[in-house]
Amino acid sequence: MLHEITPYIFFTGKGGVGKTSLASATAVKLADEGKKVLLISTDPASNLKEVLETNITEKITPVSGLSNLHAVNIDPEMSAEEYRNRVISPLQDILPEWEINKIREELSGACTTEIAAFDEFARYVAGDGEDQPYDVIIFDTAPTGHTLRLLELPAAWSNYIESNPDGASCIGPSSALKTSQARYQKVVDRLRDKDATTVYLVTRADRSALNEAERSGKELMELGLKNQFLLINGYFEPVDVSDPLALKMKEIADSTLENMPAFLQKMNNLVFPLRPYNLLGIERLRKVFEPLDKQEIRDTSGTLLTEQHESYLPGLDELMADITEKDHGLIMTMGKGGVGKTAIAAAIALKLAHRGYPVHLTTTDPAAHLLDQIGDLHIPENLTVDRIDPRAEKQAYIEKVLKNKGSKLNEEELKLLREDLESPCTEEVAVFQAFSKAIHQARRKFVVVDTAPTGHTLLLLDTTGSYHRDVIRNNGINSNNLKTPYMYLQDADFAKLLIVALPETTPITEAAKLQHDLRRAGIEPYAWIANQCMSAAAVSDPLLKQRAAGEIPLLQEMEKKHANRLYSIPWIAEDRILQHLLLSEKQTVENT
């Protein structure tokens, strides 16, 4: 079992490392022991429904089969709508309808969604004056960048409110927030109390996941959350020691763990083995804290297929041929955290550059692993690489506004402008402007965007849509020369959105949700990429064979039910995946 049980337990880390599985397994374990447990997801891309096999909604729901375990999703959009209604309700009989509609439109941005989600989150930690009916509350958090932003919000809004007590921001009248300051402080105090809160940093034996665990651990330390433990998930121990791929996987994992950051080495840790199946359902979750039964795996693997099942699917080089029918355009990799978007985005950008195209590679991910992926690889002169850094973009935006407007203001007006620009919403605007600039570059070159995990991406696209609506409203819909970033994303000839998923149930479900949301916005994904396909590799290890066999119906679901086009990338047992992806292309060229 885990090291210690406090009233509040957080599972956080890079997307795709297994936070939901371990959080759910812990919740089931504690419920089996008789504790009353509430499991909460604060991830905009939550998959509690699949893992618990219960229809989890924004209302507290009993988990099937466990009377003392309940779960709930904090739905950011629903929280935002409730928040808007709370702000607008007192104004209904005071202001005319057109002003009410204007306020509602101003409260439609991603910033409102973020603070509303935190407001809901705070209710569970601080309570509303009622007796706490649960012994333990477990938080399955969003990917790290989103979580850190969530925890920083109380200080950010407190500072803004104190400096601008009578003002209004894009989240509504600041006075409406001030009534919650005491509760926000109570939340922060509880999070910093080691007897009340434990943070589990979840990782895999993967360099980028460990680096992310180190980054988030240090930043959480700075926020005062010091009661931290490391959970290493999905560690692979070969069953068949004659399988070269299996041995290589273990060798890479062991080397990665031996060289993990010093900050993590000092931390108490637990290791959870890779299972031959996905952790879906209560019975499988109950096995998480049990040792792996290798004999059982051997006994059940004899009848499994071993041939390459999905070799008919086109690969990365075929994708390159398809997307270079034009010599410019926007390419975005999207999907659940941890599915390999960053490596694929970097590979596409480098392959385009090697073919002689001018290319710009950037990321909207707050965790920004692009440079980790590229490492010491040579970057061609026709390839530029950067990241959309929220803090840097905010500072640049503030300086630009002050330069353009500051000279025309008196001292008091300048003071008010500076206070207004310190609103956390300024960051949202600044990031959007940087994203828009990248889109416009794609009119003359290839721009490859490695997006943040799904929830962040949708918030960014929502901002893009809000901007589009503002432009249309202010300029008139008959403006012939008008083309907003949103319209570029809707242009299938210009923008090619690639949805990346692993051949596993949860990533596919999340990818399908993302595709549905994009289509509702009039944006049609170009293709899906099934990454790290074990079924395409020659394996003899019984555990890996079971995982490979489990992929077959999932690949068929991707191809027949979801994707307009489906490309695949086989499992790569290499420490430097990007280099291997590029080497495979070079070898293909040399062999032709």
The yes-or-no answer on residue 18 being catalytic is yes
The yes-or-no answer on residue 21 being catalytic is yes
pLDDT score at 195: 93
**What is the DSSP secondary-structure string of 176-206?**
HHHTTHHHHHHHHHHHH-TTTEEEEEEEES-
Helix, strand or coil, per DSSP, at residue 73: strand
Mean pLDDT by 10 residues, the chain (592 residues): 82 85 94 94 77 87 91 81 81 82 72 72 71 85 61 59 52 50 78 91 90 90 90 93 92 94 94 89 91 79 49 84 93 85 92 94 72 77 85 80 78 76 67 80 92 58 57 49 72 93 86 86 92 85 88 91 93 80 54 34
Instruction: Look up residue 364 and give its two tokens.
Output: 């909207």
Of 20, 41, 256, 463, the catalytic one is 20
Of 14, 15, 19, 109, the catalytic one is 19
Amino acid at 453: P
Of 12, 21, 174, 426, the catalytic one is 21
pLDDT score at 477: 46
| Rounded CA separation 522/516 (Å) | 10
Contact assessment for residue 49 and residue 64, using Cβ atoms and an 8 Å cutoff: no
pLDDT score at 407: 75
Of 13, 15, 16, 217, the catalytic one is 16
Amino acid at 493: D
| Residue 337, C-beta contacts closer than 8 angstroms, at least 6 positions apart | 14, 15, 16, 45, 143, 453, 454
HSE-CB at 186 with a 13 A cutoff on CA atoms is 15
Helix, strand or coil, per DSSP, at residue 29: helix
pLDDT score at 586: 43
| Rounded CA separation 303/418 (Å) | 69
CA end-to-end span of the chain = 55
Nearest to 16 by CA among 371, 420, 237, 341: 341
Nearest to 528 by CA among 547, 507, 549, 550: 507
| Rounded CA separation 412/427 (Å) | 23
| Rounded CA separation 61/373 (Å) | 41
Q: How many CB atoms lie within 10 A of CB 335?
A: 30
| Domains in the chain, CATH or no CATH each | 8-80+114-149+183-294 (3.40.50.300), 319-390+446-590 (3.40.50.300)
Of 13, 15, 18, 315, the catalytic one is 18
Of 43, 119, 243, 450, the catalytic one is 43
The yes-or-no answer on residue 131 being catalytic is no
Instruction: Look up residue 275 and give its two tokens.
Output: 């299972």
Nearest to 200 by CA among 1, 433, 368, 430: 1
The yes-or-no answer on residue 513 being catalytic is no
pLDDT score at 402: 82
**What is the DSSP secondary-structure string of 515-538?**
HHHHHHTT----EEEEEEEGGGS-
C-alpha angle 303-307-313 in degrees, rounded to nearest 5:
135
pTM over 0.85? The answer is no
Instruction: Look up residue 52 and give its two tokens.
Output: 């618990």
| Rounded CA separation 502/505 (Å) | 8
Q: Where are the alpha helices (DSSP H) in 269-340?
A: 282-286, 294-299, 316-323
Strand 172-173 relative to strand 168-169: parallel, antiparallel, unpaired? antiparallel
| Rounded CA separation 349/343 (Å) | 10
| Rounded CA separation 458/332 (Å) | 13
Of 506, 535, 550, 568, the catalytic one is 506
